[in-house]
């Protein structure tokens, strides 16, 4: 058995982890997470850390759930793998498809599987083009996304997203356009919410007119932008957006990789926000992260056209519709149902978080707090009035995050925003601890840097 020091050495010598500055990482080393239970992760130095990020926005039912472990074990014994390529499928996938159709908005009754959110979004890109080609409009190819949008890390998904740094390292610029998101903290100014919803949505109309509706296949948006910094749209934004999509005959894609499976107090944010997307991306909370799986929900309108027209859709992965992942997803959904986690979020913890986070408003470093369901952000600023942001952006957020982690609270920093996305099984006491520890991290940061 390798001991603790060996593990750090193996890591340092041989592992290049995602989204890392390798030079910096090799100097500072990585934290090895050894095990987890409930809402707490443990590292190899013996630290216990409350996981207010649910892993990476995904461990919705918390850690150590036997129901999911047993579902995987049972399925591995029965049928660990078989492909779904050549007119074959498996029982868990058939059941999961029916289950997803039953919990999704009414018009979404068809499912295509993949293994990650990125792959699901790549699937969507190919699918919408296939759809328009079958409709006799193959020139409708461009997809409009939003700045700060995150749709994954494959080249196509990252191109569709709006993360500048990712575009700079490699992007397909010909096929994607981006508009400014309704990021109130930066852009709302003196506008009322209703005005801001309208002016933000109008950017889509302007972009469509600029590019030409006959070239545009779809618009994609996360109902709440996650990795972009928990950007919550003002009421009415998506109503305007959907009207514009309908007017110009452009498909509307909701990327619910984070907002799906209860995080906003319904199965999907499409229900919370009254959206009728043509396609929905699912991943993360689908299996609570226990095994990889993603899915695309396809509307009746699109599916029936594909089925009527025929013609092979040349797309799929070796592990599309993996039986073990499907079995875990089913157990996960069942657990969310039997424990009433969605009602728990809707009626108890989401309102509690919304009011608890306001305690931080008066802190000298805090420019804004906001939450939607069990997603929250605390924006740090140099001066409250303005507000004046830190320059460079991100250094103070990272400092504050490190204080939080060292104090036993796992949060994430996006630019200078502190992000929360706790498991749905979080109790109000867990929220109290989270806010208390976050306040301590803010204090420690303020003691260190003052106002920059």
Ligand X SMILES: *Cc1c(COP(=O)(O)O)cnc(C)c1O
Q: Residue numbers of the site for ligand X (CB under 6 A)?
A: 116-118, 121, 150-153, 222, 226-227, 255, 257-258, 283-284
Q: 295 or 366, CB closer to ligand X? A: 295
For the chain, give the longest Cα–Cα distance.
66
Q: 263 or 437, CB closer to ligand X? A: 263
Closest CA to 158 of 140, 144, 175, 170: 170
Give the separation between CA 254 and CA 337, rounded to whole angstroms. 23
Q: 104 or 389, CB closer to ligand X? A: 104
Pairing between β-strand 279-282 and β-strand 251-255 as defined by DSSP bridges: parallel
Residue count of the chain, please give it: 452
DSSP 8-class letter at 18? S
**Beta carbon of residue 363, minimum distance to ligand X (angstroms, whole number):** 28
Q: 49 or 283, CB closer to ligand X? A: 283
**Beta carbon of residue 151, minimum distance to ligand X (angstroms, whole number):** 5
How many CB atoms lie under 10 A from the CB of residue 270? 23
Q: Which residue is nearest to ligand X (CB)?
A: 117
Give the separation between CA 374 and CA 265, rounded to whole angstroms. 8
**Beta carbon of residue 347, minimum distance to ligand X (angstroms, whole number):** 25
- Residues with Cβ within 8 Å of 31's Cβ and at least 6 positions away in sequence, in order, are 43, 44, 45
**Beta carbon of residue 65, minimum distance to ligand X (angstroms, whole number):** 20
Give the separation between CA 444 and CA 403, rounded to whole angstroms. 7
Q: 93 or 253, CB closer to ligand X? A: 253
Helix, strand, coil % over all residues of the chain, rounded to 5 = 45, 15, 40
Q: 151 or 207, CB closer to ligand X? A: 151
Where b means 16+ CB within 10 Å and e means fewer, 402-421 reads ebbbebebbbbbbbbbbbbb
Q: 118 or 332, CB closer to ligand X? A: 118
3-state secondary structure of 173: coil
Closest CA to 37 of 65, 58, 67: 65
Give the separation between CA 374 and CA 302, rounded to whole angstroms. 31
């Amino acid at each position: 058995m390798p001991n603790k020091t060996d593990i750090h050495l193996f890591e340092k010598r041989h592992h290049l982890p995602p989204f890392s500055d390798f030079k910096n990482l090799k100097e500072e080393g990585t934290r090895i997470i050894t095990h987890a239970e409930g809402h707490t992760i443990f590292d190899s130095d013996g630290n216990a850390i409350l996981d207010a990020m649910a892993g990476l926005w995904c461990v919705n039912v918390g850690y150590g759930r036997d129901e999911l472990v047993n579902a995987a074990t049972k399925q591995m014994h029965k049928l660990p793998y078989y492909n779904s390529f050549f007119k074959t499928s498996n029982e868990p996938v058939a059941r999961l498809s029916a289950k997803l159709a039953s919990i999704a908005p009414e018009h979404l009754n068809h499912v295509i599987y993949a293994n990650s959110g990125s792959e699901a979004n790549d699937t969507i890109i190919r699918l919408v083009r296939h759809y328009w080609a079958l409709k006799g409009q193959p020139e409708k190819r461009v997809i409009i996304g939003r700045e700060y949008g995150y749709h994954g890390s494959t080249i196509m998904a990252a191109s569709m997203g709006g993360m500048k740094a990712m575009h700079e390292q490699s992007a397909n610029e010909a096929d994607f356009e981006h508009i400014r998101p309704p990021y109130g903290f930066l852009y709302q100014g003196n506008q009322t919410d209703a005005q801001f919803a309208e002016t933000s949505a109008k950017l889509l109309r302007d972009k469509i007119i600029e590019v030409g509706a006959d070239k545009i296949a779809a618009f994609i948006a996360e109902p709440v932008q996650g990795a972009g910094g928990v950007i919550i749209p003002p009421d009415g934004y998506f109503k305007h957006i959907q009207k514009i999509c309908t007017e110009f005959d452009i498909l509307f894609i909701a990327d619910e990789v984070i907002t799906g499976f209860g995080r906003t107090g319904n199965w999907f944010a499409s229900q919370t926000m009254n959206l009728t997307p043509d396609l929905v991306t699912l991943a993360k909370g689908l299996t609570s992260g226990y095994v990889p799986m993603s899915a695309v929900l396809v509307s009746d309108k699109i599916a029936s056209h594909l089925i009527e027209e025929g013609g092979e859709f040349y797309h799929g992965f070796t592990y599309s519709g993996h039986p073990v992942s499907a079995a875990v997803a089913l157990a996960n959904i069942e657990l969310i149902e039997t424990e009433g986690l969605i009602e728990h979020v809707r009626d108890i913890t989401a309102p509690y978080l919304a009011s608890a986070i306001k305690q931080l408003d008066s802190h000298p470093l805090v420019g804004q707090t906001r939450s939607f369901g069990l997603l929250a952000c605390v924006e740090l600023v140099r001066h409250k009035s303005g507000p004046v942001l830190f320059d460079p952006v991100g250094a103070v957020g990272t400092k504050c995050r490190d204080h939080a982690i060292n104090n036993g609270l796992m949060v994430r920093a996006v630019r200078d925003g502190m992000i929360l996305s706790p498991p749905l099984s979080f109790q109000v006491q867990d929220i109290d601890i989270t806010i208390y520890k976050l306040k301590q991290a803010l204090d420690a940061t303020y003691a260190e840097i003052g106002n920059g």
